[in-house]
């Protein structure tokens, strides 16, 4: 009777999966005319605007240009004197873009762009260069880093009324801000401490700059983004083995290691949905060194987007990294290899699907064998792991049967 119930469970799961209709799409975002490639770094709250850069390898020294993609196509955002610029982030409505451009003296400068003002140079903290990294939901707060007079780099927070404000360090020489909450009150990034170790930080006007920790056995961490509600911070940190792993941090749980995938080593988390429930980034393949875009949720654990969306990549295209995610997690932006053009291209992925079709090849080596069976057995009863083959929230009999039924395939 128990065996019969397990079979019924599998059949029910398969039926539910085939009955579900998913609206999914993958858009490869074209570069500017005569440019070969493009990268996407930021995305508006509703996913309607993507920002990044377009690249012309044939220009002397290579030409990088900040761009904005909307339903109208790709838009050149201009420059600050020299032709090179890149966009890093967009406000919630996509009308404010921040990033870095090169001025007439060939120094990097943080910029803030709007359709009415164009590209505005935000200056520095007294040094020669600055870099814009993130912007608040309303577009009024910009964060990034700037050199200071006398040497060193400092995280900054900019508003039109205060200008660029130095956020200090954790005791060391340098710091860099990469993310800001929707209301602009919380800033995250990295800073060196008094012993010269890199630490992810969280800054607010009330608390100042505070380190948020490291992974067990590690000695360095960096925060890349913060959720719109300011409750979840994501980034990467090294562990006892010297590998860098993506993390998700909250005040109550501390720094959670999001791990990696079978056959992959390092991982990084670069963006997080508005409520902190969805995290995107990349993992690095051990055999090839190639990066793969990933998404994490508590239900699914870390998932390779190339396997989740294999049906959209049947031409041999690859999603390399996910750098941005819309507030509701429906849209993901990043960069990949576009097979039909043979070049790197920005992408915009739309879908509400979290789980891939069942794949009993747990370790991804092309053969369903003892290793896959043991992986499921050792993970039995766990949640949020890639051994949850049918993605129902727990590793159980149904996942074990998926392996047993496919045993020997591809071997």
Do 307 and 165 have their domain in common? yes
CA geometry: angle 216, 258, 280, nearest 5 deg? 140
170: which DSSP letter? B
Tell me which residue has tokens 């990467």.
236
User: 405: pLDDT confidence band, cut at 50, 70 and 90?
Assistant: confident
- Give the separation between CA 349 and CA 347, rounded to whole angstroms: 6
Q: Which of 151-165, 181-195, 360-374 has the lowest mean pLDDT?
A: 360-374
Question: Above 70 in pLDDT, residue 175?
Answer: yes
Do 58 and 89 have their domain in common? yes
pLDDT of residue 253: 95
User: 353: pLDDT confidence band, cut at 50, 70 and 90?
Assistant: low
Neighbours of 182 (CB within 10 A): 20
pLDDT of residue 104: 96
Do 308 and 409 have their domain in common? no
CATH number where 389 lies:
1.10.1330.10
CATH number where 187 lies:
2.120.10.30
pLDDT of residue 16: 38
* Burial class of residue 369 (count of CB atoms within 10 Å of its CB; 0-12, 13-18, 19+): buried
Do 398 and 338 have their domain in common? no
Do 282 and 408 have their domain in common? no
Do 5 and 142 have their domain in common? no
How do residues 206-221 score in pLDDT, each as one tens digit? Answer: 999 999 999 999 999 9
User: 156: pLDDT confidence band, cut at 50, 70 and 90?
Assistant: very high
Question: Above 70 in pLDDT, residue 13?
Answer: no
Per the CB < 8 A criterion, the answer to whether 280 and 271 are in contact is: yes
Q: Shortest CA distance to 121 belongs to which of 93, 85, 154? A: 85
Do 153 and 291 have their domain in common? yes
**Owning domain of residue 375:** 1-22+364-411
Burial 183-198 (b: 16+ CB within 10 A, else e): ebebbbbbbbeeeebb
Do 357 and 368 have their domain in common? no
Do 16 and 39 have their domain in common? no
How do residues 242-281 score in pLDDT, each as one tens digit? Answer: 999 999 999 999 999 999 999 999 999 999 999 999 999 9
18: which DSSP letter? H
Q: How many domains does the chain have?
A: 2
Do 8 and 36 have their domain in common? no
- Give the separation between CA 245 and CA 271, rounded to whole angstroms: 14
Do 395 and 259 have their domain in common? no
Cα 241 to Cα 188, 216, 265, 275, 289: the distances in Å are: 25, 10, 11, 31, 18
Domain boundary among 343, 363, 383: 363
Residue range 299-318: mean pLDDT, rounded: 92
Cα 195 to Cα 159, 206, 220: the distances in Å are: 32, 25, 12
User: 23: pLDDT confidence band, cut at 50, 70 and 90?
Assistant: low
CA geometry: angle 97, 313, 93, nearest 5 deg? 20
Query: Which H/E stretch holds residue 81?
Result: strand 81-90
Average pLDDT, the chain: 92
Question: Above 50 in pLDDT, residue 338?
Answer: yes
Do 344 and 245 have their domain in common? yes
Domain boundary among 347, 363, 379: 363
Residue % of the chain over a pLDDT of 70? 93
């Amino acid at each position: 009777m128990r065996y019969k119930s397990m079979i019924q469970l599998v059949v029910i799961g398969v039926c539910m999966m085939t009955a579900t209709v998913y609206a999914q799409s993958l858009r490869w975002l074209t570069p500017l005319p005569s440019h070969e490639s493009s990268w996407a770094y930021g995305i508006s709250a509703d996913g309607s605007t993507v920002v990044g850069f377009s690249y012309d390898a044939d220009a002397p020294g290579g030409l990088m240009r900040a761009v904005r993609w909307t339903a109208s196509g790709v838009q050149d955002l201009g420059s600050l004197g020299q032709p090179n610029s890149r966009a890093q982030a967009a406000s919630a409505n996509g009308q404010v873009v921040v990033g870095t451009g090169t001025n007439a003296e060939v120094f990097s400068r943080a910029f803030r762009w709007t359709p009415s003002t164009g590209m505005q140079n935000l200056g520095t903290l007294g040094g020669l260069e600055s870099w814009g990294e993130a912007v608040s939901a309303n577009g009024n707060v910009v964060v990034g880093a700037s050199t200071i007079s006398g040497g060193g780099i400092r995280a900054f927070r900019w508003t039109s009324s205060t200008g660029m404000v130095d956020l200090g360090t954790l005791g060391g020489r340098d710091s860099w801000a990469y993310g800001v909450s929707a209301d602009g009150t919380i800033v995250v990034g990295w800073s060196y401490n008094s012993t010269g170790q890199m630490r992810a930080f969280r800054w607010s006007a009330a608390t100042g700059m505070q380190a948020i920790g490291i992974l067990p056995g590690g000695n360095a961490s960096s925060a890349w983004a913060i959720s719109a509600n300011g409750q979840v911070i994501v980034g990467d940190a090294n562990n006892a083995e010297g590998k860098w792993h993506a993390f998700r941090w909250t005040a109550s749980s501390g720094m959670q290691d999001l791990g990696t995938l079978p056959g992959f080593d390092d991982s990084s988390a670069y963006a997080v949905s508005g409520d902190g429930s969805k995290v995107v980034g990349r993992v690095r393949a051990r055999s090839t060194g190639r990066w793969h875009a990933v998404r994490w949720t508590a239900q699914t654990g870390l998932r390779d987007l190339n396997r989740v969306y294999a049906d959209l990549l049947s031409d041999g295209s690859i999603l390399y990294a996910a750098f941005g995610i819309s507030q509701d997690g429906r849209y993901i932006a990043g960069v990949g290899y576009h097979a039909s053009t043979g070049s790197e291209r920005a992408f915009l992925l739309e879908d509400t699907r979290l789980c891939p079709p069942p794949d009993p090849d747990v370790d991804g080596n092309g053969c369903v064998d003892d290793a896959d069976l043991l992986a499921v057995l050792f993970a039995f009863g766990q949640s949020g792991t890639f051994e949850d083959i049918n993605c129902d929230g727990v590793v159980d009999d149904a996942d074990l049967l998926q392996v047993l039924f496919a045993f020997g395939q591809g071997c």
